[in-house]
Amino acid sequence: MKEQVGFTAWFTGLPCSGKTTVADAVADVLREKGYRVERLDGDIVRKGLTSDLGFSKEDRDENIKRVTFVSKLLSRNGVAVLATFVSPYRERRRKTREEIGNFVEVFVRCPVDVCIERDVKGMYKKALAGEITGFTGVDDPYEEPENPEVILHTDRETLEESVQKVLDRLQKLGYI
């Protein structure tokens, strides 16, 4: 394994915007190059670390607070953390940045209509039908990042282009 500086690349965006797809591909590239990489994904974390939480603003903030703690521990121990969370609130993301330190915000920008088309779980359909409430992008807000290090346009970039943008920024920042 390479000697490496730990960092957290935080992928934020609407549900189904492409966060997981891009981060998984970035992780594959980094692992192939010998980096220690950990993937933290919203769906997986909610099954274990934060299974006691719902989707109120308070619970969403607590979810991100716990993930921030884990990301900080991994990062300070030389791991490249690729975290994929809707994390809809700017203030909580700001706190996460401050707590972690070596932090790269990756805004996965994608129009909601494209996210709806990609929704294999049918969550947008349920939210639009009123079957579930508090769904980000439908009846709960998503506060776009104001100054992310990377902006991906997954509706018009190829996966390879998005991955390269992330890798280029990580290299420019001295993390890889």
**Residue 107's closest CA among 165, 158, 65?**
165
Three-state DSSP class for residue 7: strand
Active centre residues (catalytic) = 87
Residue 92: the pLDDT is 94
Q: Based on the structure, what is the number of domains in the chain?
A: 1
pLDDT at 106 > cutoff 80: yes
> What does pTM read for this prediction?
0.93
Instruction: Look up the CATH number of the domain holding residue 51.
Output: 3.40.50.300
Taking a C-beta distance cutoff of 8 angstroms, is the pair 123, 86 a contact?
Answer: no
Residue 57: the pLDDT is 86
pLDDT at 46 > cutoff 70: yes
Please report which confidence band the pLDDT of residue 136 belongs to, taking 50, 70 and 90 as the band edges.
Answer: very high
Question: Would residue 153 count as lying in a domain?
Answer: yes
Question: Would residue 1 count as lying in a domain?
Answer: no
H or E element at residue 115: helix 112-118
The structure tokens 């891009």 sit at 22
pLDDT at 96 > cutoff 90: yes
Instruction: Read off the pLDDT of each residue in 130-144 and give the average, rounded to a whole number.
Output: 92
pLDDT at 83 > cutoff 80: yes
Q: Which amino acid is at 108?
A: V
